């Protein structure tokens, strides 16, 4: 047995920091697994021919990788960069950043209240886990004005400090991007357009939105909201692609409107 309680599984997305660039690949430290090392073969860095690995990965760089081989008995892990989609990369990095913020806030709460971190784990982290509640989501709700739940087993003063920290530290910055399009469906008509719009509006992670509204058929406005401008733009592109695929499959068309047509 390896003696390691937690080990990455094949297909899992992991956060890795490049520690060494070698001739045939790179070594990365897996941040979520106590620094366990993984190897990324040069063939798994890019779909293109890699002439210089440092054009893609450098020492100290943090990135999202996908586990392609995992052996707990030999403590060997192989990972891939090229098999990670843009969406997977965005979601995993967002989750990692949220995890880091939560850990920092818990340490700060301990410092401000004088409560040992182990007691905070027992009074806040464990009860949240038992209820399958993500701490970052809980902090978002508190930041929006909700009270600290009764199941949080901390002194009232600590709860007050926690609420103040959430409202100060968890600030959602929402970026919005939009695109005006002309949608025509030759088969299925309005019902097909509605179906395409509904599928597009299912996209996005928690806290994100895609909204499709008519500005006078066949003109429509597609709007995407996310925490960053980059993510909002990506979400908008996914929405347009989803609508276009459904509509064109049924003989229709999706075109961008000119400035004059938007009015």
Q: In the predicted model, what is the mean pLDDT of the chain? A: 89
- Superfamily for 87-169? Translation initiation factor 2; subunit 1; domain 2 (1.10.150.190)
Architecture of domain 13-84: Beta Barrel (2.40)
- The residue ranges of DSSP E strands in 42-137, in sequence order, are 62-71, 76-80
Could you tell me which CATH number the domain at 175-262 has? 3.30.70.1130
Domains of the chain by residue range: 13-84, 87-169, 175-262
pLDDT above 90 as % of the chain: 61
Nearest-angstrom CA–CA distance, 48 and 71: 28
Per-residue CA distances from 161 to 4, 115, 123, 156 (Å):
36, 12, 15, 9
DSSP, collapsed to helix, strand or coil, labels residue 114 as coil
pLDDT in tens, 99-158: 999 999 999 999 999 999 999 999 999 999 999 888 998 998 898 788 999 999 999 999
Which residue from 17, 34, 35, 36 is spatially nearest to 26, judged by alpha carbons?
17
Tokens read off for 36: 């366990």
């Amino acid at each position: 047995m390896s003696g390691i309680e937690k080990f990455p599984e094949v297909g899992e997305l992991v956060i890795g920091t490049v520690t060494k660039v070698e001739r045939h690949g790179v070594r990365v430290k897996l941040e979520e697994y106590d620094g366990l090392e993984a190897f990324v073969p040069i063939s798994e860095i890019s779909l293109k021919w890699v002439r210089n690995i440092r054009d893609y990965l450098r020492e100290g760089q943090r990135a999202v990788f996908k586990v392609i081989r995992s052996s707990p008995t030999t403590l060997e892990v192989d990972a891939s960069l090229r098999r990670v989609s843009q969406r997977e990369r965005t979601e995993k990095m967002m989750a990692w950043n949220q995890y880091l913020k939560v850990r920092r806030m818990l340490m700060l709460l301990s410092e401000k209240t004088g409560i040992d971190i182990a007691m905070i784990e027992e009074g806040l982290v464990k009860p949240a886990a038992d209820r399958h509640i993500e701490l970052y989501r809980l902090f978002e709700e508190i930041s929006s004005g909700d009270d600290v739940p009764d199941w949080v087993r901390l002194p009232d003063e600590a709860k007050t400090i926690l609420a103040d920290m959430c409202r100060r530290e968890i600030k959602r910055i929402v970026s919005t991007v939009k695109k005006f399009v002309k949608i025509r469906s030759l088969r299925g008509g309005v019902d097909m357009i509605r179906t395409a719009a509904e599928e597009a509006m299912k996209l996005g992670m928690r806290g994100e939105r895609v909204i499709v509204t008519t500005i006078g058929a066949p003109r429509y406005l597609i709007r995407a909201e996310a925490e960053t401008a980059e993510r909002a733009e990506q979400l908008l592109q996914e929405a347009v692609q989803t609508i276009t695929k459904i509509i064109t499959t049924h003989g229709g068309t999706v075109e961008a409107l000119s400035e004059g047509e938007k009015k």
